[in-house]
Chain A
Amino acid sequence: MIELAAVRKAFNQGRENEYWALNGIDLTIPANRVTVLRGPSGSGKTTLLTVVGCLARPTAGRVRLGGKDISGMPERFLTEIRRRTFGFVFQQYNLIRGLSAVENVMLPAYPLGPPHRALRDKAEGLLETLRLSHRRDSRVEWLSGGEQQRVAIARALINDPQVLIADEPTANLDTALSREFLGILESLRESGKTLLITSHDPLVTESSLAERVVNMRDGRIVK
């Protein structure tokens, strides 16, 4: 479903501290599967996630999504594709402090302008499946780490994306919570979502969930 061909990504281009985070990536991410990117920090996993997830454009190379070349698209349209296709769970969760859990979940849908009642119902439904109904009106900074992550997952799912992207999801969780998270991923995979995860946590990379593990180093894929 997502194909990358000779993708390269530079930062600070043309300056002295120019730096190539991705250095020729060829990769196919199949639909309805769980793909895990493994590698040390600085290996380019996160940059690869941003390119795949339409958060950033490659400096060179091609990215195809469902057969359509999206590598040269302006940000305006990348955003449109991103919010309908991808849901993100960030390492630091990145919830907006001061807003309640349910408001945080609704945020990605604001620019689409759905009817308010329907949106709220949907957000509450997602929180319920993640067993967070009792916390839905609490401000997010009052939630525990595991609860915050579940809010972040609900937020990632609010626009019904086909692909869920998670960056180092277990980095801030203890073992019990990590296992719980893997359980959630399992049920998402069963519902037909495509999952793309970066991790160097063996709990993730060696679990049965990880159907495919891609190893990265220095901006390249290593076999």
Chain B
Amino acid sequence: MIFQPAIIALLLASATGALLLAACAPYAVRVLQRWDLASGSEYQLRLERRTYLVSTIVAFVLAAQVLALLLFVFNADRMAVMFVGAMCAVGTLNANGFGFPALLAQIAVFFLACTWLILNHLDTSAEDYPLVRVKYRFLLAIAPLLAVAAWLQLRYFLGLKADVITSCCGSLFSEGSAIAGDLAGFPPGPAMLAFYGALTATLAVGAACLKTGRGTPAYAAASVLAFAVSLAGIVSFLSLYAYEHPHHHCPFCLLKPEYGHQGYALYLPLFGAAAAGLGAGAVAPFARVASLAQRAPALSRRLVTVSMVLFVAFAAIASLIILRSNLVLLDGNSPL
């Protein structure tokens, strides 16, 4: 393991988050067994009051997760200098098999925590707390995932070994651990087609969904797809335009000051759009619950709208990057 402040900080954060949520688990079980809003007993009152603690903790874990995600990527980028062949964060994350799984697990935690908080918001807006059991079952499902994410990150950091000078023959023995730090990506033409196609399709589904009030789960699925395709698009061609370099595919360097922090302008709307889209899908089925018959559709409409606006913002920023770039990837004969 590389003993380094940022790594210690990340391990501290993930362990704290996992422990906090684990501490909520017994309470979640008790809610599932003994929740009875009709009862005026002091026990029920205590349970109700504890729900405030749980939602505060989940919000805290979510906030910490967003920051930790950024720190994780930044730190990976900074550590690239320690690994032979690693040029930036991608190389560092590839330094062993746990890097990317750890990153993906953290992204998953982010989305699940967002979804939970959206459900919580819906639930606490109705006087009978109709989703209390759904929510706490969901929480019991998230808690282990958080532990898994923490474990993956730990394994990743434990497995890192810097290629330092050895006492015998300096350089060449570190060659073995060299990394092919390149996510190849698709050819830019089809990738661009897929990118704009997926975004347009998602917006179309969203528009239909707003118009008819139905098909929100389809929108959620579409926004997850658009999220994945957008990430692939960033790797395969958007990064090239941003760096104005035909072989620099890194999705993380975009966040760096050298490239004007463009990454934030791309990722914030993209993650927000996907989270809102997922949330809309999670909320929609509960229109069947009597006390949510009005609220659930209203909330899911709002989320679909927010998600669509953010997808449009993302597409606009991506297009701006492409238009402003001096790089020419596609000539007149290309498919676009």
Contact = CB atoms under 8 A, between A and B. Distances in A.
Interface of A: 10, 12-14, 57-60, 71-77
Contacts of B48: 74-75
Interface of B: 37-43, 45, 48-49, 124, 127, 129
Contacts of B129: 74
B124 A72 contact: no
Nearest to A76: B124
A57 B38 contact: no
A72 B38 contact: yes
A76 B39 CA distance: 16
Contact of A72 (B40, B42, B43, B49): B40
A77 B127 contact: yes
A57 B49 CA distance: 13
Given A71-B40, A72-B40, A74-B37, 7 more contacts: A12-B42, A13-B43, A58-B40, A59-B40, A59-B42, A72-B39, A74-B127
Contacts of A77: 127
Nearest to B126: A77
A98 to B, nearest CB: 27
Query: Of A10, A12, A57, A73, which is in contact with the most chain B CB atoms at under 10 Å from its CB?
Result: A57
Contacts, number: 29
A67 B129 CA distance: 21
B40 A57 contact: yes
Contacts of B43: 13-14
A10 B127 CA distance: 23
Contact of A73 (B42, B124, B127): B127
A47 B128 CA distance: 25
Contacts of A10: 42
Nearest to A51: B40
B38 A75 contact: no
Closest 6 pairs between A and B when the two form their complex, measured CB to CB: A59-B40, A13-B42, A77-B127, A72-B38, A57-B40, A58-B40
A77 B129 CA distance: 11
B40 A60 contact: yes
A59 B39 CA distance: 7
Contact of B49 (A13, A58, A75): A75
Contacts of A59: 40-42
A178 B54 CA distance: 47
A19 to B, nearest CB: 12
Which residue of B37, B42, B48 has the most chain A CB atoms within 10 A of its CB atom? Answer: B42
Contacts of B42: 10, 12-14, 59
Contacts of A57: 40, 45
5 contacts: A13-B42, A57-B45, A72-B38, A74-B37, A74-B127
B204 to A, nearest CB: 38
Contacts of A12: 42
A77 B123 CA distance: 12
A207 B315 CA distance: 74
Interface centre among B41, B43, B49, B127 (most CB of A within 10 A): B127
A60 B40 CA distance: 6
Contacts of A71: 40
B130 to A, nearest CB: 12
